[in-house]
Structure 1
């Protein structure tokens, strides 16, 4: 097990001050319209891989126990989704003040997420202490999102060159800084970042135990009305997962039949996605941010309505 490296609020503030000095256009935030990060993350197709990201995250015992013991996920999944992505989207698409405010807000929320692992899980002993504001655990959550976003982009939008992936990864380090993760703790380049992910899949750092199983089961059964959609989504998610994680969750195996169903659903999404209007193809906060940079400080009717539906508020990054 890697040595525990908690991040204090003072450490985070010092890192944010250093990061702010690297920002060229505060109105655009830490990335901006010319960044690879916006180019990749803006696509709503990323949410096809959301289940994969969640299950990879909760395969880490610290994450699974933190979610189970401190979150509203099982009682109020929509509220948990909104709480998480309101801050994530503000960090990615907000102006510099919004980015910093969301960073501090998330740190303060995570500061309260401490506890004990409920059962022995891989490298983590029963009763051992976990904390959300810890470098190694945060790197893993960060990695599942940004590796998965590229996977979804290439699946539904188009291929990226090695140079584009490298640029995207170097930009993603700015997001890691918002959690107090120091650059020296991160893999130095895209290829080593991929190696880190693959090593984690096969390591004792990930171990699917009762807390993770409970969250995973809920993910595909939370709404009887949506059961036909969730059944399809479960197959997609299962076959997107690395084999050792899929097996630990006991999900649909990669058989000729399940692969056929997977490919059929992916083909359908690929056929439909390019023809969607921009308001559905791109995330509402991305469209809102583009309007902000043109001097329009309201989200617009369609974007505001979608923001309200998805995030519970009509304006997120318009200021």
Structure 2
């Protein structure tokens, strides 16, 4: 037990957003979005076999996010160091020019960070978690601390909704539906599953993946050659809202990192009182 409440703490928007289990959808949405950057998707495809270890990879990513948000400062910093060590030795080749680039290039790290946090906060708003525009700006500002863990200068990371919109506007000319992006999107939609889970798991995952795609910005759906219609946004919002109610009604077990954070927060509250 420690009085260290981590990078954010109980009064943060980050704690309020990430306690919602429905945000698993946001993580899948972010993966579809990230695949539209030719260098980002090339870095993943050329350095890992996602077809063989997709489920452990997803779980490790979820554990990393949980550690950064709810872990102690030391736990978050150690997780960040592990990520930086892995990225430091990885290189890939641009599929268009053949140029070699570092996977931890600052522009690529910013792209991954922004798509991740924007996916979380936009999905949270679709689920009607109750975030005001000020809350959204505060969330983005808080998450610059998470960006620093992977090696980014926090001063170069979008820290408000307006800055995130401007980042997307500036980077969109670089995005494209490459062959690698199509392969990753196809894989995300129909990933391999153990035979014992396939009968029930495949339809359930297909529904979640379809919803994640519908949650993408309209310009991203158009890059995937899908309709960018307002009606799709409405349907996606209603689906997320329904899923949130369903998931919250289930006896979902809280993870150890979250439980430890709640215990530390309660101890701090009692001590302050």
TM above 0.5, yes or no, is yes
The alignment partner of 1:154 has SS state of helix
Q: 1:290 maps to which residue?
A: 262
Superposed displacement of residue 26, structure 1:
6.7
Distance in 2 of aligned mates of 1:186 and 1:259: 27
Q: 2:89 maps to which residue?
A: 112
113, 126, 149: which one aligns with 2:120: 149
Q: Deviations over 1:127-177 (max 9, x none)?
A: 022222121111111111111111111122433122222221211111111
Distance in 2 of aligned mates of 1:40 and 1:264: 18
Q: Deviations over 1:227-246 (max 9, x none)?
A: 32233224312321223322
Distance in 2 of aligned mates of 1:83 and 1:149: 17
Q: 2:204 maps to which residue?
A: 229
Distance in 2 of aligned mates of 1:178 and 1:259: 33
Matches of residues 1-319 of structure 1 in structure 2 within 5 Å?
27-117=4-94, 119-120=95-96, 126-200=97-171, 203-222=172-191, 223=193, 224-225=198-199, 226-251=201-226, 253=227, 262=236, 265-266=239-240, 268-277=242-251, 279=252, 285-294=257-266
- Cα 1:192–1:263 change in 2 (3 A) is closer
- Cα 1:32–1:262 change in 2 (3 A) is closer
Answer whether contact 1:72 1:80 (CA < 8 A) is retained.
no
- Cα 1:60–1:146 change in 2 (3 A) is same
- With the length of structure 1 as denominator, give the TM-score of the two structures: 0.72
What is the alpha-carbon root mean square deviation over aligned residues? 2.7
Answer whether contact 2:88 2:104 (CA < 8 A) is retained.
yes
Size of the aligned set, in residue pairs, is: 260
The alignment partner of 1:245 has SS state of helix
- Cα 1:255–1:97 change in 2 (3 A) is closer
Distance in 2 of aligned mates of 1:138 and 1:293: 31
Which has the bigger relative contact order, CA under 8 A and spacing at least 6?
Answer: 2
- Cα 1:108–1:46 change in 2 (3 A) is same
Answer whether contact 1:71 1:80 (CA < 8 A) is retained.
no
Q: Deviations over 1:191-244 (max 9, x none)?
A: 2223323443xx222122111111110111113533322332243123212233
Answer whether contact 1:235 1:262 (CA < 8 A) is retained.
no
Moved more, 133-142 or 83-92: 83-92
Q: Deviations over 1:39-96 (max 9, x none)?
A: 1122111112222200111111222111111123211111211332333322221112
- With the length of structure 2 as denominator, give the TM-score of the two structures: 0.83
